Amino acid sequence: MELDAKIPSGPIEDRWDNHKFNLKLVNPANKRKYNIIVVGTGLAGGSAAASLAELGYNVKSFCYQDSPRRAHSIAAQGGINAAKNYKNDGDSVYRLFYDTVKGGDFRSRESNVYRLAQVSVNIIDQCVAQGVPFAREYGGLLDNRSFGGAQVSRTFYARGQTGQQLLLGAYQALQRQVSAGQVKMYPRHEMLDLVVIDGRARGITVRDLFTGEVASHAADAVVLATGGYGNAYYLSTNARGCNATAVWRAYKKGALFANPCYTQIHPTCIPVSGEYQSKLTLMSESLRNDGRIWVPAKIGDKRRPAQIPEAERDYYLERKYPAFGNLVPRDVASRNAKSVCDEGRGVGPSGLGVYLDFAEAMQRLGHHVIAERYGNLFEMYERITGEDPYSVPMRIYPATHYTMGGLWVDYNLMSTIPGLYVAGEANFSDHGANRLGASALMQGLADGYFVLPYTIGDFLASHRPDQLGVDHPAFKEAEQGVNARTRQLLGIQGKRTIDSFHRELGKILWEHCGMSRTEQGLKDALGMIPELREEFWKDVRVPGENEEFNQNLERAGRVADFFELGELICRDALERSESCGGHFREEYQTPEGEALRNDDEYSYVAAWQYQGDSAPPALVKEHLDFEYVHPSQRSYK
Amino acid sequence: MSAIAINRTTFFCRTPVAKKVVMAVTGVILFGYLIGHLAGNLLIYSGNPAAINRYAELLHASPPMLWTARIVLLVAVILHIIAAAQLWLLKRRARPVGYCRKEETGSNYASRTMIWSGPIIALFVIFHVLHLTAGKIVPLAMAGHEPDVYHSVIDGFRVPMISAFYILAMVLLCLHLYHGLWSMFQSVGVSHPRYTPLLKRFAATFAFILAIGFISIPVSVMIGIIR
Amino acid sequence: MKLTLHIWRQANSTAPGRMVKYEVDDVSEHMSFLEMLDVLNEKLTLKGEDPIAFDSDCREGICGTCGFMVNGVAHGPLPKTTVCQLHMRHFKDGDVLYLEPWRTRAFPVIKDLAVDRSALDRIVAAGGFVSIDTGAAPDANAIPVPKERAEISMDAAACIGCGACAAMCPNGSASLFTGAKITHLGVLPQGQPERNERALRMVAQATEEGLSYCSNHGECEAVCPKGITLEVIARMNRHYIKAEWVDRGQPAE
């Protein structure tokens, strides 16, 4: 199979504009004849559904949550990047593009990233107009803060709740279309299969989580905006319900899955406290603006932080990376935290933690400034740990956070299945091997507000609306498949709980395919995961029935998919014999312990094609060209 | 969103926000009346029985004025009661299955008892009118052809049950006023992080003073300060 | 520590429910309340009993999915804290806890502690937005917004739509929710053109949903996990009154 990314030619700054002009249009009067399904209501899905409905398409929007407003984009704290250069500090579209390509460790598509940087400015305009209450300065104009991986202040924020406010903006736009009758909303519905007819995505099969009823919906195009797969690791900063089922079904129907091993481990999360733990909580990366990261210089120093004098502290990020200091990109910060803990200098009861200290900032700026900037984050930390970060340094440790990999899409965000579009974290497109802070919100909204509304039109313009009904045999077949799988899960009635399997899978992935990976470790994981999966299908106990509100059945289906995806993550990590961004192979590092890329052999997107349950997936490569930002060893020193 | 027209007349009657405004506005009228009423009553302490009697005569001097006032008050009372009853019905429908356990975290005794203090005060008002206006409970004392308010009050409050009911009603009135006084501002949309706490304190003080003023009269009669 | 839980069990929205008693041992003080229930659910599953249904998602207090009554208080005893962020260190060995779903007519029980809050979505759909199509926005700095205004707006916009206000309100009213959205948009310049219609429509929809009325008890603000105050309700009333009687249906100035 050949992958055609449909990247426009010409100077990079004109590509998107030229491409938009070349895209075919759907006559305004004809738009209402087209049906579009959007799965997921986060920043990408919510903004796409609202924008497509505004254009006049009939949209059906699905989410597993009880309301579209609850998608996990809501939990993003720190901010959203945009190349507005309101600070006059030298920012530009080109610089945002440059930083993102470099931050992604030269494993992203230049044209996509440039477009992202271009539309970033429109996103801020749009959100302000919607009533998003961004932070402002006394003059009434928008405030910005700096963020990891950048030397300019380009991050717009709304206290520590930027994701929430942006999502509410998209949600409000969506509700407006619901009230106008342009969007039909299906909350508490989970997509369990993609329906492909004549090689084209024509609909989905969903389970109504309230009643258990399985039904299908047909459309002229399907958009998946179902988020990332970080929950494969069990413990992650994702929401409890985040899952990869929708993208995994699409993968099994022929969509290629790209770069699954690019998982981002976020450096500033609250450390694990026990076996029962159901999730990890992220503390916004913005804390690194004023907080200083350190561990005791001596191994096994168990004194309380206040008793350790300045001279016996190791501010290891500031020491190793004087230019960026505590603001190095996430992958670098995470790996360094792991290595100091591996040396035995970690803090806290488990020894898996480092201090994030605000004492110096509070002295410099005053208690009130810190409270104003981070008050809600400090409160959150105190609620979870019972410790007051104003007086005791925070303890943080990295945790699985974001997945840069996802379904492969071309420049139009269309997957390898015609008519199936993928947006936001669910696709692989813009972040390469590592995502910079405050760029996820930007990408989700860019895809939903400013890319999909154009590119879907191009596809629809060349496909007549045919009002396909769900009586087509392909839909019945999909429904039967879903029902059979449900019956199978309910029928096992084994002796282990779903969570016990999920926890075990998570541990395998975290240990063998987490912050650092080795060939042997990955091979071991590739042996363990299928075994565990087999045990799952023999011994899991899923209580209840299908025809009811059954949260365990929902979870069982998701975990079953994580097993298969987990295997693909490891397979991809094993295949990529280099280190880049979030993918750190211990065999490939510089003498200083930094990621060592191999651009000659691995400058490609690894897209995996499903070949049936019994055969390993096939690797299809999309070569990456760097015409503008030339690959170099990333240096944040 | 203005594409869809709203029928404004039905709109008004249906929204509880509007009903709360009715409660607030009628509440202000009744509150104003209470101040005037107490001011008049306190003439009983002037030492001269004629003072309060003259005040009563003055009130009755112009029948059109008197009846206007009475009608305004009556309408206010009726609207206050109707709105309260409608809201109470809404409340009853709002939670068909009650909690097995329910704590009170933000409300207070006064706010929770509005629905009881209100009807008891209403009953008291009827009783009070029958007692001192119509003379149906204890015969009114007369000074010639005119009613002798001063002695009627004393005759009434010498009956312990009457005084007790009066005092109970005034305690409830105090609670009702405390919540009503600051709440009416909230209902018509006046709230301020700095002034609302002050307003609450003011409401408490004022309700307390008003109640003490009224209660002092039966107490004074019973312990013989007024005779 | 060891706890006794009395939990409302109800098979579905039409079945009758009842309180059922559970004993849980080995509760760690570092667990969150929901993790404590997760552990109980795993035990129930292995015993062949039906696990307790409750909604939760982000488990970091921002998505608004979780929420039930703990001993008669929405989200439990800790102020400004959703039940997913409530940790067991706030309870002590031997405590007896009563867990019940949100109870208001507008939130029918789906199962056990999970309820249907779609009424809140319909209130937002009635007018909780700014009518701006994608692409039509002026430059973000074209309209300055005084910092204080932005802060008032943000205080209200912090609402997570959990429904605790309605669950706790003696009148079953979601005025804090409705007021928060009206305030969020109503104090910003971007929200002015539709301010009147928004207030009229959202209040009408809340009434339609049976989310009743505010009588200023203040129970809602005491349990609001985001610390939203009664001030937003006053502002809702003010916008409503202005729309209804002062501007009489004309757009706000």
Separation CA A636–CA A626 (nearest Å): 20
Residue A194 dihedral angles phi and psi, to the nearest 5° = -105, 140
Contacts of A126 (CB under 8 A, 6+ apart): A445, A449, C132, C134, C135, C137
Tell me the C-alpha to C-alpha distance, in Å, between residue A580 and each of A100, A107, A517, A631. 14, 8, 12, 12
- For A406, the token pair is 């996802």
Tell me the C-alpha to C-alpha distance, in Å, between residue A214 and each of A195, A211, A551, C72, C220. 14, 9, 15, 37, 38
The pLDDT > 70 percentage for chain A reads: 100
**Residue A487: its H or E element:** helix A473-492
Question: How close does chain A come to C131, measured CA to CA in Å?
Answer: 8
| Upper half-sphere CA count for residue A370 (Cβ side, 13 Å) | 21
| Upper half-sphere CA count for residue C95 (Cβ side, 13 Å) | 15
Which residue from A50, A75, A175 is facing C121, i.e. has the nearest CB? Answer: A175
What's the start-to-end Cα distance of chain A, in Å? Answer: 42
Which residue from C17, C200, C231 is facing B191, i.e. has the nearest CB? Answer: C231
Q: What is the pLDDT of residues B19-32, one digit of tens each?
A: 999 999 999 999 99
CB C52 within 8 A of CB C113: yes
Q: What is the pLDDT of residues A414-462, one digit of tens each?
A: 999 999 999 999 999 899 999 998 999 999 999 999 999 999 999 999 9
DSSP state of C121: H
Task: Please give the order of strands across the beta sheet that includes A145-146.
Answer: A80-81, A153-156, A145-146
Residue contact B11–C244, C-beta within 8 A = yes
Question: How close does chain B come to C196, measured CA to CA in Å?
Answer: 10
Contacts of C68 (CB under 8 A, 6+ apart): C54, C74, C83, C99, C100, C101, C102, C113
Secondary structure in 3-state letters for A221-275:
EEEECCCCCHHHHCCCCCCCCCCCHHHHHHHHCCCCEECCCCEEEEEEECCCCCC
Residue contact C170–B11, C-beta within 8 A = no
**A14: pLDDT strictly greater than 60:** yes
Q: Which residues of A touch C57 (CB under 8 A)?
A: 65, 70, 72, 239-241
DSSP state of A282: B
Residues of chain A with CATH 1.20.58.100: 492-602
- Confidence at B5, pLDDT banded by 50, 70, 90: very low
Query: How many CB atoms lie under 10 A from the CB of residue A380?
Result: 24
Residues of chain C with CATH 1.10.1060.10: 118-246
**Residue A163: its H or E element:** helix A162-179
Separation CA A506–CA A234 (nearest Å): 5
What three-state secondary structure class fits A2?
A: coil
Q: What is the pLDDT of residues A524-544, one digit of tens each?
A: 999 999 999 999 999 999 999
pLDDT score for C139: 97
- Which of A136, A379, A395, A558 would best serve as a mutation to test chain C binding (most C beta carbons within 10 A)? A136
DSSP state of A68: G
Q: What is the pLDDT of residues A463-508, one digit of tens each?
A: 999 999 999 999 999 999 999 999 999 999 999 999 999 999 999 9
Q: Is the dihedral of CA A311, A312, A315, A316 positive or negative?
A: positive
**Third-level CATH fold of A267-401:** Flavocytochrome C3; Chain A, domain 1 (3.90.700)
Residue contact A172–C124, C-beta within 8 A = yes
CB A146 within 8 A of CB A153: yes
Separation CA A165–CA A171 (nearest Å): 10
Residue contact A552–C55, C-beta within 8 A = no
Q: Which residues of C touch A83 (CB under 8 A)?
A: none
Tell me, yes or no, whether B161 lies in a domain: yes
Tell me, yes or no, whether B102 lies in a domain: no
**B3: pLDDT strictly greater than 70:** no
Helix orientation angle between A93-103 and A12-22, rounded to the nearest 10 degrees: 100
Q: What is the pLDDT of residues A313-326, one digit of tens each?
A: 999 999 999 988 99
Separation CA A324–CA A81 (nearest Å): 18
Which residue from C38, C65, C139 is facing A125, i.e. has the nearest CB? Answer: C139
Residue C150 dihedral angles phi and psi, to the nearest 5° = -60, -35
Q: Which residues of C touch B105 (CB under 8 A)?
A: 73, 168, 219, 222-223
**B162: pLDDT strictly greater than 60:** yes
Counting the structural domains of chain B, the total is 1
Q: What is the pLDDT of residues C135-191, one digit of tens each?
A: 999 999 999 999 999 999 999 999 999 999 999 999 999 999 999 999 999 999 999
CA-based nearest residue in chain C for residue A269: C60
CB A554 within 8 A of CB A560: no
Mean pLDDT to the nearest integer, A306-312: 95
CB C2 within 8 A of CB C94: yes
What three-state secondary structure class fits A145?
A: strand
Q: What is the pLDDT of residues A240-251, one digit of tens each?
A: 999 999 999 999
Q: Which residues of A touch C183 (CB under 8 A)?
A: none
Question: How close does chain B come to C57, measured CA to CA in Å?
Answer: 25
Q: Which residues of A touch C82 (CB under 8 A)?
A: none
Question: How close does chain A come to C109, measured CA to CA in Å?
Answer: 11
Residue C159 dihedral angles phi and psi, to the nearest 5° = -50, 135
Neighbours of chain B (3+ CB pairs under 8 A): C
Residue contact B99–C197, C-beta within 8 A = no
Which residue from B6, B99, B104 is facing C100, i.e. has the nearest CB? Answer: B99
Tell me, yes or no, whether B116 lies in a domain: yes
Q: Within chain C, which residues score under 50 in pLDDT?
A: none
CB C121 within 8 A of CB C16: no
Neighbours of chain A (3+ CB pairs under 8 A): C
Residue contact C85–A384, C-beta within 8 A = yes
Residue contact B189–C235, C-beta within 8 A = yes
Q: What angle do CA A229, A272, A326 make, to 5 degrees?
A: 80
Which residue from C73, C213, C238 is facing B105, i.e. has the nearest CB? Answer: C73
Question: How close does chain C come to B71, measured CA to CA in Å?
Answer: 25
Separation CA A149–CA C97 (nearest Å): 47
Residues of chain C with CATH 3.10.20.30: 3-111
pLDDT score for C249: 67
CB B12 within 8 A of CB C244: yes
- Confidence at A78, pLDDT banded by 50, 70, 90: confident
B-C contacts at Cβ under 8 angstroms: 160
Residue contact A544–C57, C-beta within 8 A = no
The residues of A annotated as belonging to the active site are 330
CB C225 within 8 A of CB C61: yes
Tell me, yes or no, whether B3 lies in a domain: no
Separation CA A251–CA A420 (nearest Å): 11
Q: Which residues of C touch B20 (CB under 8 A)?
A: 213-215, 237
Find tokens 């999360």 and name the residue: A269
- For A25, the token pair is 């249009």
What three-state secondary structure class fits C80?
A: coil
Tell me, yes or no, whether B48 lies in a domain: yes
pLDDT score for A309: 95
Q: Enter the CATH code of domain A492-602.
A: 1.20.58.100
Residue contact C105–B96, C-beta within 8 A = yes
CA B227 to chain centre: 27
Q: Beta strand pairing status for A200-208 and A153-156?
A: unpaired
Contacts of B57 (CB under 8 A, 6+ apart): B146
**Residue B147: its H or E element:** strand B146-147
What three-state secondary structure class fits C19?
A: strand
Task: Say if domain C118-246 classifies as CATH 1.20.1630.10.
Answer: no
Q: Classify burial at A233, counting beta carbons within 10 Å of its beta carbon; exposed 0-12, middle 13-18, buried 19 or more.
A: buried
- Confidence at B6, pLDDT banded by 50, 70, 90: very low
Q: What angle do CA A563, A569, A571 make, to 5 degrees?
A: 105
DSSP state of A532: H
Q: Which residues of C touch B87 (CB under 8 A)?
A: 171, 213, 215
Tell me, yes or no, whether B2 lies in a domain: no
CB A513 within 8 A of CB A574: no
Q: Residue B73 is part of which domain span?
A: 8-97+107-223
Q: Enter the CATH code of domain C3-111.
A: 3.10.20.30
**A272: pLDDT strictly greater than 60:** yes
CB A271 within 8 A of CB A394: no
The pLDDT > 90 percentage for chain A reads: 91
- For A158, the token pair is 């709304």
Torsion angle, alpha carbons of A406, A408, A410, A412, to 10: -50
Q: Which residues of A touch C66 (CB under 8 A)?
A: none
Residue contact B190–C234, C-beta within 8 A = yes
Tell me the C-alpha to C-alpha distance, in Å, between residue B45 and each of A63, A117, B42. 73, 82, 6
- Which of C43, C62, C78, C147 would best serve as a mutation to test chain A binding (most A beta carbons within 10 A)? C62
**Global confidence as pTM:** 0.95
CB A207 within 8 A of CB A192: yes
Tell me the C-alpha to C-alpha distance, in Å, between residue C252 and each of A24, A633, C153, C193. 41, 58, 18, 6
Q: Beta strand pairing status for C69-70 and C96-100?
A: antiparallel
Q: What is the pLDDT of residues B61-88, one digit of tens each?
A: 899 999 999 999 999 999 999 999 989 9
Residues of chain A with CATH 3.90.700.10: 267-401
CATH assignment of the domain containing B13: 1.20.1300
Q: Which residues of A touch C191 (CB under 8 A)?
A: 131
CA-based nearest residue in chain C for residue A128: C140
Separation CA A12–CA A15 (nearest Å): 5
**B2: pLDDT strictly greater than 70:** no
pLDDT score for B11: 43
Which residue from A139, A175, A549 is facing C144, i.e. has the nearest CB? Answer: A139
From C201, C123, C125, select the one nearest B4 (Cα to Cα): C201
- Which of C112, C215, C246 would best serve as a mutation to test chain B binding (most B beta carbons within 10 A)? C215
**B1: pLDDT strictly greater than 60:** no
